[in-house]
Amino acid sequence: MNNAQIAAKFELLADLLEFQGANSFRVRAYRNAARTIQELSQQISDIVEDPGQKLTDLEGIGKDLAKKCEVLVETGKFPQLEELQKQIPQSVLAMLRIPGLGPKKAAVIYKELGIATLEDLKQACEDERVRALKGFGAKTEQMILSGIELAATAEQRIYWAKADQLVSRLREHLQSAPGVEKIDFAGSYRRGKETVGDIDVLTMADSPSAPMDRLAEFPEFQEVIARGDTKMSIRLEDNMQVDLRVVPGKSYGAALQYFTGSKEHNVKIRGIAKQLGLKINEYGVFRIEEDGSETYIAGETEEDVYGALDLPWFPPELRENRDEFKMAETGFPKLITVEDLVGDMHMHTDATDGRNTLEEMIEASIAKGYQYIAITDHSKRVSMANGLDSERLLAQWKQIDKLNKKYDGKIQILKGLECDILEQGGMDLPDKVLAKGDWIIASVHYGQNQSKQQITDRIVGALQNPSVCIVAHPTGRLINRRDPYEVDLDAVFQCAKENHKFVELNANPARLDLNDVHCHAAKERGIPIGINSDGHKIDGLDVMRFGIVQARRAGLTKKDVVNTRSWKGIQKLLGRE
């Protein structure tokens, strides 16, 4: 059990306790423990197994919590949590995840209205029964109503980054089943979709029962949904479903192609096959003979399958029936890879809401092999993050001048800022200060409920500021948690184009903003896209690969992206020479 999983259990315990109205100190203790564990660089399981180390040495982990961790690591059990889960209906958990609702309010709804499902809650909101509760009102009711949809999908779909961790654990687990020759993960995971609904696994094995038996022994296994001769579906403890299929070599490529999808891509493929007098399914490609019989002609590899239809192999990220069939005619672009990135131009330090010092962020970036980075702490409007005023910003830039000497030849550090675009429009810090920086990012953090016109005007105004280079996370969405604000991206792109400015693809797995469709649109308009980590700590720099997955789905190549170029090259794009 890894730290993220342990932390999730403590977080859940805190939610359930709070829902029950437990002492707030206790609740907070579990939340703090969850955070500590989440951010720990060492694995809890390693500490438990190491006689030279003690869990109680960790901040916020007392004897009681340490004991719980030990039991969890050694037995996979968490009796207190399991007991609570028996008392509180599973469906209530979805209610806890509605943005702005939280365990306390959810408890009131549960107790006063007897509501335990999202569906009933939606009905109650529509009937205006929720606003009548003490501590609620029409506004809260409206907020709950709009949050229900988000919470409902959050119940069903996990972030790609989380699916990726699960896939690693499953791969490792299944590999050890006897006679397993191949394992591949298909479906939306393979296509790199930002959220994944279930995990589709394909295996090739001597005997189909071996991988299926092994799957039932997966530590996170909860129950078998269905099991046949060659396929099996299970549910995991966190409710995620895993579909396993055992496929013979002759059909392996055909099955991989079929179960990678998307459904829409496959519908198109079947149409193309039909026109050629062929039939394609998960078993292979077949020629339809005059007597109506079918002859197998391909199926071992995906290349064979596509080849039999006179098509090139399609990168999985492009299989959405958007414009990949048109692209196939002229050959696919060489999609960007994480190695193409030579810098990271959005990160924070402990001067604002980051966890690491300036030098720690620099050292970590050197270790990543970057040519340059931009330090982009928040501006003063973000008071919760201790945003920088002009004086503190200029002091930081002075410090960066010094550090550039110290790290000369190792990395170049750009003097940056993530400058808030004020609610009334305009930048948070004076132009004459911004003009002294190398790389100014503009962001909307406040006033996200404004009208489309207002928000668009703010962003367009920022992009017209000569010092601003790029707009960060341009739609403000948080996947499964917050809808994008209203913004006319067409107008934003138009303005970026005219002013030689850039747009960001924020690589944080909760943001991935701009999304694939928007990035593709920006590329078509000839607007360079900056892929940045927005790291708030050293580990936060590692999210770049999630941005790359999204970028590939957008069909981006090295030349479409800002930070694949030298800093000199970027300045040229900005028209600064």
Q: Is 428 in the site for Zn ion (CB under 5 A)?
A: no
In the complex, minimum distance from the CB of residue 492 to Zn ion, in angstroms, rounded to a whole number: 18
Of positions 304, 317, 534, 560, contacts Zn ion by CB under 5 A: 534
CA dihedral 259, 265, 266, 271 (to 10 degrees): -170
Query: How buried is residue 293: exposed, middle or buried, by Cβ count under 10 Å (0-12/13-18/19+)?
Result: exposed
In the complex, minimum distance from the CB of residue 191 to Zn ion, in angstroms, rounded to a whole number: 28
Comparison of 263 and 572: residue with beta carbon closer to Ca ion: 263
Token representation of residue 14: 């805190």
Token representation of residue 526: 């000839």
Q: Which does 266 bind (CB under 5 to 8 A by kind): ligand DGT, Zn ion, Ca ion, none?
A: ligand DGT
In whole angstroms, give the CA distance from residue 92 to residue 110.
Answer: 8
Comparison of 96 and 468: residue with beta carbon closer to Zn ion: 468
Q: Is 200 in the site for Ca ion (CB under 5 A)?
A: yes
In the complex, minimum distance from the CB of residue 371 to ligand DGT, in angstroms, rounded to a whole number: 37
Q: Is 200 in the site for ligand DGT (CB under 6 A)?
A: yes
Comparison of 243 and 340: residue with beta carbon closer to ligand DGT: 243
Window contacting Zn ion (CB under 5 A); options: 12-20, 139-147, 517-525, 532-540: 532-540
Q: Is 197 in the site for ligand DGT (CB under 6 A)?
A: yes
**Which residue number is nearest to ligand DGT in terms of Cβ?**
261
Query: How buried is residue 63: exposed, middle or buried, by Cβ count under 10 Å (0-12/13-18/19+)?
Result: exposed
| Continuous segment of H or E residues that includes residue 179 | none
Q: Which does 534 bind (CB under 5 to 8 A by kind): ligand DGT, Ca ion, Zn ion, none?
A: Zn ion
| Residue type for position 146 | S
CA proximity to 298, closest of 265, 258, 259: 258
Q: What is the DSSP letter of 386?
A: T
Neighbour tally for 355: CB within 10 Å: 16
In the complex, minimum distance from the CB of residue 333 to Ca ion, in angstroms, rounded to a whole number: 26
In the complex, minimum distance from the CB of residue 146 to ligand DGT, in angstroms, rounded to a whole number: 23
Q: Which does 262 bind (CB under 5 to 8 A by kind): ligand DGT, Zn ion, Ca ion, none?
A: ligand DGT
Query: How buried is residue 277: exposed, middle or buried, by Cβ count under 10 Å (0-12/13-18/19+)?
Result: exposed
The answer to whether the bond into 251 is cis (omega within 30° of 0) is no
| Residue type for position 470 | I
In whole angstroms, give the CA distance from residue 78 to residue 405.
Answer: 52
Fill in the per-residue mask, 139 to 178: x = in contact with ligand DGT (CB under 6 A), - = not in contact. Answer: ----------------------------------------
Sheet of 221-227, strands arranged across:
180-185, 198-205, 241-246, 231-236, 221-227
Comparison of 18 and 198: residue with beta carbon closer to ligand DGT: 198
Three-class HEC string of 89-138: CHHHHHHHCCCCCHHHHHHHHHHHHCCCCHHHHHHHHHCCCCCCCCCCCH
In the complex, minimum distance from the CB of residue 309 to Ca ion, in angstroms, rounded to a whole number: 24
Angstrom distances, CA of residue 442 to CA of 24, 57, 161, 162: 38, 41, 26, 29
Q: Is 263 in the site for ligand DGT (CB under 6 A)?
A: yes
In the complex, minimum distance from the CB of residue 381 to Zn ion, in angstroms, rounded to a whole number: 13
Comparison of 169 and 392: residue with beta carbon closer to ligand DGT: 169
In the complex, minimum distance from the CB of residue 376 to Zn ion, in angstroms, rounded to a whole number: 6
Q: Is the dihedral of CA 57, 62, 64, 68 positive or negative?
A: negative
Placement of tokens 């979709």 in the chain: 193
Q: Is 418 in the site for Zn ion (CB under 5 A)?
A: yes
In whole angstroms, give the CA distance from residue 367 to residue 344.
Answer: 13
Q: Is 187 in the site for Ca ion (CB under 5 A)?
A: yes
Q: Is 259 in the site for ligand DGT (CB under 6 A)?
A: yes
Q: Is 196 in the site for ligand DGT (CB under 6 A)?
A: yes
Comparison of 198 and 513: residue with beta carbon closer to ligand DGT: 198
In whole angstroms, give the CA distance from residue 460 to residue 545.
Answer: 29
In the complex, minimum distance from the CB of residue 166 to Ca ion, in angstroms, rounded to a whole number: 12
Count of chain residues binding Ca ion (CB under 5 A): 5
Of positions 262, 301, 321, 386, contacts ligand DGT by CB under 6 A: 262
Comparison of 195 and 506: residue with beta carbon closer to ligand DGT: 195
Are 150 and 481 contacting, i.e. CB atoms less than 8 angstroms apart?
A: yes
Q: Which does 501 bind (CB under 5 to 8 A by kind): Ca ion, ligand DGT, Zn ion, none?
A: none
For the chain, the C-alpha Rg in angstroms (whole number) is: 26
CA proximity to 462, closest of 428, 504, 513, 509: 428
Of positions 15, 164, 198, 516, contacts Ca ion by CB under 5 A: 198
Token representation of residue 201: 């696994």
Comparison of 200 and 302: residue with beta carbon closer to Ca ion: 200
In the complex, minimum distance from the CB of residue 211 to Ca ion, in angstroms, rounded to a whole number: 16
Q: Which does 103 bind (CB under 5 to 8 A by kind): Zn ion, ligand DGT, Ca ion, none?
A: none
Comparison of 18 and 243: residue with beta carbon closer to ligand DGT: 243
Q: Is 184 in the site for Ca ion (CB under 5 A)?
A: no
In the complex, minimum distance from the CB of residue 473 to Zn ion, in angstroms, rounded to a whole number: 8
Token representation of residue 426: 């305009």
Q: Which does 263 bind (CB under 5 to 8 A by kind): Zn ion, Ca ion, ligand DGT, none?
A: ligand DGT
Q: Which residues bind Ca ion (CB under 5 A)?
A: 187-188, 198, 200, 243
Q: Which residues bind ligand DGT (CB under 6 A)?
A: 187-188, 193, 196-198, 200, 258-259, 261-263, 266-267
Q: Which residues bind Zn ion (CB under 5 A)?
A: 418, 534
